[in-house]
Structure 1
Amino acid sequence: MIDIFKAVILGIVEGITEFLPISSTGHLILVNEFVGFTGNFAHMFDVAIQLGAILSVVVYFRHKLFPFSKSSVTEKRKVFAIWKKTIVGVLPALLIGAALGDHIEEKLFNPVTVSIALLIGGFVLIFIENRRKRIRIRDIHLLDYKTAFIIGFIQCLAMIPGTSRSAATIIGAMLLGVSRVVAAEYSFFLAIPTMFAATSYSLLKIGFALTSSQLQVLIVGFVVSFIVALLVIAGFMNFISSKDFKPFGYYRIILGLLVLIYFYF
């Protein structure tokens, strides 16, 4: 019963933080420390519930992601173009992740790294929102392949826990002249193959040998993560249509400082 409660808590944390620029991995590392959910199964759980968050993206953006639901050839081509740009964007993460992923996980998955990354990312988000910038891409269909690849390369910074995959892609996109809404949309699309590949690799590495109680805990976390992430995506897209990312920057700075204080003092 205790593990079910932890699954619900961690599923909520994953669902809230996965697509916001505040680092889901960082939050899970921190929450695991506080609830005492550790070990190989805990690591598998943290990875597996990301699939629930991925599914929420597919469901929410289904009208933009499913070409066979379109009536015209032009609309189908637009959907296929989005997928091709997403694949181009995920290539750097696949290559760099395969080469350095295990080393980064071994050396950097700790609360201090998370707190420093949270602080740096928070200041960068606020800086970008304060600077005067020219927006050249206001529609996801106008995103070119070169820009998509560069954003994907910047996404690799998220391998450092606490950086946030969504923060890295959104910051990278905005620096390249992409509007706030399009940056968030592409970040969501890029999450599908990126997170699916990372999750599949981690699960294969850890293994699938589960007891019935562990499977139950995993299913609870997956379902909670999916439901919460779906609600968060809807709210987040509505929020950034009229507001900026500064609140997330301030949140990252406050959380980063609190974590540093807690683990040092």
Structure 2
Amino acid sequence: MSDIISAILLGIVEGLTEFLPVSSTGHLILVGHLLRFEGEAATTFKIVIQLGAVLAVLILYWKRYVDIAKNLLTFNFSAKNKLNAIHMAMAMFPALLVYLVCKDYIKSYLFGPAPVLLGLIIGGVLMIVASRVKRNVTAENTDDITYRQALGIGLFQCLALWPGFSRSGSTMSGGLLLGTSQKAAADFTFIISVPVMLGATVLDMYDSREFLTADDLVLFLIGFVSAFVVAMIAVVTFLNLIKRLKLEWFALYRFALAAVFFLFVMS
């Protein structure tokens, strides 16, 4: 029963935090530490439930993905300032390359409470800087994003390989610094999240295949469903919040979380 409760709680945490700029991986590591839900099997579980959040975004943005797929299949990349598969590929490639080269180091040294707390703080500082820096906004929506901006956002996404930095926090900060509006940065972050997360999850599941057993199927399914349901709500809510709240408010939350966890759990 305790494992089922842990699965539900972690599924909720994944769904709530995956698309907020607060680091879902960092939260899962910290909450897993509190629940004593750790080890290789627990790490595999945290990988699997990310697919629930992926499915939520795929459903919510399905029309956009259909358009991108149609353009890709017909090799239609001529529409000026139209978001297409090239934008997505340029945003995905840098992090994929860094992950393939550094994944053993990342999993060995960065998947622990202390590195996560440091990532929360440094990532929060980046978000504050991105919110306050004066810039010329050239992309009000995703169709205005250039290839150069997409590649730049992809480079910022590399920071998210450090648990605690947050994929959405890194990409949105990068978007703001490169001249996109906050809304455009948020939409682009959600749209590229499906292929990025799907690819990363498949690679991680392959690496952890020995820990995927039929005995854990029910537990994994519970976490998956919890993450999916909560993510559906969280994405819509976040899109509304992002119109009103600057990234620095999320940065303050990150600082508070790091301080509370350090003072009351790690001290």
TM-score normalized by the length of structure 1: 0.92
Q: Of residues 91, 94, 100 in structure 1, which corresponds to 2:93?
A: 91
The answer to whether the 8 A contact 1:112-1:263 is kept is no
Measured after TM superposition, the shift of residue 144 of structure 1 is 1.1
Looking at structure 1, the residues matched to 212 and 245 of structure 2 have their Cα atoms a distance apart, in angstroms, of: 44
1:203-242 to 2 correspondence within 5 Å?
Answer: 203-207=205-209, 210-242=212-244
1:258 maps to a residue whose letter is V
Secondary structure of 2:165's match? coil
Measured after TM superposition, the shift of residue 246 of structure 1 is 2.4
Measured after TM superposition, the shift of residue 209 of structure 1 is 5.7
Report the equivalent of 2:32.
Answer: 32
The answer to whether the 8 A contact 2:44-2:211 is kept is no
- The 1:69/1:29 distance shift into structure 2, 3 A limit, reads closer
Report the equivalent of 1:3.
Answer: 3
Looking at structure 1, the residues matched to 61 and 41 of structure 2 have their Cα atoms a distance apart, in angstroms, of: 31
> Is residue 159 from structure 1 mapped to residue 161 from structure 2 by the alignment?
yes
Measured after TM superposition, the shift of residue 66 of structure 1 is 1.3
1:34 maps to a residue whose letter is L
Measured after TM superposition, the shift of residue 91 of structure 1 is 0.6
Looking at structure 2, the residues matched to 157 and 146 of structure 1 have their Cα atoms a distance apart, in angstroms, of: 18
How big is each residue's C-alpha offset from its partner over 1:116-170, in whole Å with a ceiling of 9 and x where there is no partner? 1111222222232233332111021111111101110110011111000111100
The answer to whether the 8 A contact 2:131-2:176 is kept is no
2:52 maps to a residue whose letter is G
1:85-234 to 2 correspondence within 5 Å?
Answer: 85-207=87-209, 210-234=212-236
Looking at structure 1, the residues matched to 68 and 132 of structure 2 have their Cα atoms a distance apart, in angstroms, of: 41
Measured after TM superposition, the shift of residue 6 of structure 1 is 0.8
* Identity value in percent: 36
Q: Which moved more, 1:235-244 or 1:150-159?
A: 235-244
How big is each residue's C-alpha offset from its partner over 1:48-104, in whole Å with a ceiling of 9 and x where there is no partner? 11111111111111122212999xxxxx86798433311221011111110011111
Looking at structure 2, the residues matched to 112 and 68 of structure 1 have their Cα atoms a distance apart, in angstroms, of: 40
Looking at structure 1, the residues matched to 159 and 39 of structure 2 have their Cα atoms a distance apart, in angstroms, of: 26
Measured after TM superposition, the shift of residue 188 of structure 1 is 1.0
Looking at structure 2, the residues matched to 126 and 232 of structure 1 have their Cα atoms a distance apart, in angstroms, of: 22
The answer to whether the 8 A contact 2:94-2:154 is kept is yes
2:217 maps to a residue whose letter is L
Aligned-residue Cα RMSD (Å) equals 2.2
The answer to whether the 8 A contact 1:123-1:253 is kept is no
Secondary structure of 1:178's match? coil
Number of residue pairs aligned between Structure 1 and Structure 2: 261
Structure 2 gaps of 5+ residues are 71-75
TM-score normalized by the length of structure 2: 0.91
Report the equivalent of 1:17.
Answer: 17
